[in-house]
Each structure stands twice: as structure tokens, then as C-alpha cells.
Amino acid sequence: MLGNLFPQSFPYFDGERAFQYLLKQCDLGPRNPGSKGHADFIKMLDQFLLPFNLTVFKHEVTVTNPITQKPVDLTNFLVRFNHKREKRLLILAHWDTRDVADRDPVLANQDNPILGANDGASGIAILMELINILHNNPLINIGLDLLFVDGEDMGVSGVAESFALGTKEFAREYPSPLPYFGLGIDMVGDKNLEIEIERFSYYQAPQYVDKIWTLAKKLQIHQFKHRLGRSIYDDHRVFYLETKIPTVNLIDFKYPDHNHSYWHTLNDIPENCSSESLEAVGRLVTAFIYNEDVK
């Protein structure tokens, strides 16, 4: 099925540089909608994108914050390579961070916003480094969309449908041409990285799950574990429900491991992430993109 062109040679993904992009986001502070860090991220990404002279579709929408019930402005960025190409891939990650550390073991911390080094900055760090790669190594046959999505993490804990609001709004207004496949990247910075097969992904796009984990095995990227994990309601789930386009998520929910969790706590900081983990995922995603381009 994979053919003898596989795996292709593909450009180098620089995990160190990606880690600098993670730090750059965290330097802005928490980036929850309505915060200063949120506004500053928009400025930072605008500036970052400018020299690449790309097709950028900036999607601004006002939604109701499910916790506070107040209106809040979201900004999604769709960055398009080969923007007219009908056959195209989508890679997406959320850039917003959660406004409450409601899983923090210290009660007094639970009203504070998280820094989101892993849950937010890690996926975006990979998208930013992919922009460098795609700029220097133009795709030939396919187009590619990078979606920097906002408003993933404002939900009411335990109410899945109140999450991924930015993706929900964006998916309804996705400018044509639409992608044939979407790959989500979330919480991939964990120092102790283990990416199991996320369960919704397996049902939504089994053939792509097979492709991706087979590719990881061939490239000996040991952080990918070929076993079925739990279902995680994330942007990839909402995107699939809205569009029916096959969509997979790369996520390590056990942050840092089975017995401890920094997820939605004030411990979601750069010190608990690593450039090696970003490089492992970035390398896989880069190999996947350039393999799709030759078919």
C-alpha cells in the first residue's frame, strides 16, 4: 500500500528552533482569549508570517465563553501553501491557552490561567517550524493548509462540546478548496513523550492512522506507540464532525506519565517540555507531508 517510494527523503526538522518558538509563546504569558498575552500572540504571529509572503486567511469571530458566559473574540489563522491546489492537506494546532488551571492540585491556583507550554505552545511551535521548511522546500503536487486555531480550551470541564469552539466556527467557513485529510497536533512537547493512537482518530481515519504509525516505525521514531489509547475530544474531533473530512490527532495526554498530570495546571511550563519531543513529532509530520507530495 505504501509503495517503494516510502519513506522518501525529506527536509530536516529542527527541534531546537521549534523549542525556541515554544519559549517565545510562553514569554507572552498566558494566551487565553481576552488576555494581553492573547492579543500579543496575534501581533507576534502577524510579524512572524509577514516575510514569508504567504496566503493568510484571518478568521475573526465572537463566541460566548462557556464558563463566564461573556462574549469573547477569537482569531483563527489559515496559512496556505499552493493556495489554488485542489488536492491539499491540513495540519492544525490550537494557539489559545486555558484561562483556568482547574486541574491544579493547589486549590488557590485553580482560578489562574495556565502558561500552556505543552497544551497550546507545543503544537504551534511545530507549525511555525513547518513554515520555515515549506518555504525552503516548496511542495510540488499538493497544497497545504496550516490552521492556527483559537478558542480550543475555554470549555467547561467535563462538557466536551464546550471545547474547540474556534475550530467549530472555522470549519463552517473553510474557504475552498477543502483538504482531503487533516492532522491535529496537541500536547506534543512532553519531555516524556508517548504518542498512542488516539481513539477517535482510529474511527475517523483508520487508513491514515495506519500510514502515520507505520511511517513512525520505519523512521524509528520511538515516541510513537502502536497501540490504541483513549478518546480525546479535541479540535480533530470537532473538525471531523463538522466536515466529515478524515482527521487524526497526534497527542500525548499522559503529561508527564500515567500517575501524574500537569494538564490544566500551573505546571504546564517549558521545563516539562523538550526539543527532542518536538523534533520527534516534527520529523514525523515533515516525512508525512513530503511523502504525500510525491504520490
Site residues (vs Zn ion, CB under 5 A): 119, 153
Cell numbers for 194:
508517548
Pick between residue 99 and residue 153 the one whose CB is nearest to Zn ion.
Answer: 153
Pick between residue 119 and residue 292 the one whose CB is nearest to Zn ion.
Answer: 119
Minimum distance of Zn ion from residue 9's CB (angstroms): 35
Of 79, 251, 71, 236, which Cα lies nearest the Cα of 168? 236
Minimum distance of Zn ion from residue 119's CB (angstroms): 4
Pick between residue 151 and residue 182 the one whose CB is nearest to Zn ion.
Answer: 151
Pick between residue 134 and residue 154 the one whose CB is nearest to Zn ion.
Answer: 154
CA torsion, points 131, 133, 134, 138, in degrees to nearest 10?
160
Of 138, 187, 149, 184, which Cα lies nearest the Cα of 45? 149
* Beta carbons of 237 and 85 less than 8 angstroms apart: no
Minimum distance of Zn ion from residue 187's CB (angstroms): 7
Pick between residue 78 and residue 114 the one whose CB is nearest to Zn ion.
Answer: 114
Minimum distance of Zn ion from residue 263's CB (angstroms): 7
Query: For residues 156 and 166, what is the distance between their CA atoms, to the nearest angstrom?
Result: 15
Of 164, 33, 179, which Cα lies nearest the Cα of 93? 164
Query: For residues 171 and 245, what is the distance between their CA atoms, to the nearest angstrom?
Result: 10
| DSSP state, residue 234 | S
Minimum distance of Zn ion from residue 35's CB (angstroms): 15
264 CB-side CA count, 13 A: 17
Minimum distance of Zn ion from residue 98's CB (angstroms): 5
Pick between residue 163 and residue 208 the one whose CB is nearest to Zn ion.
Answer: 163
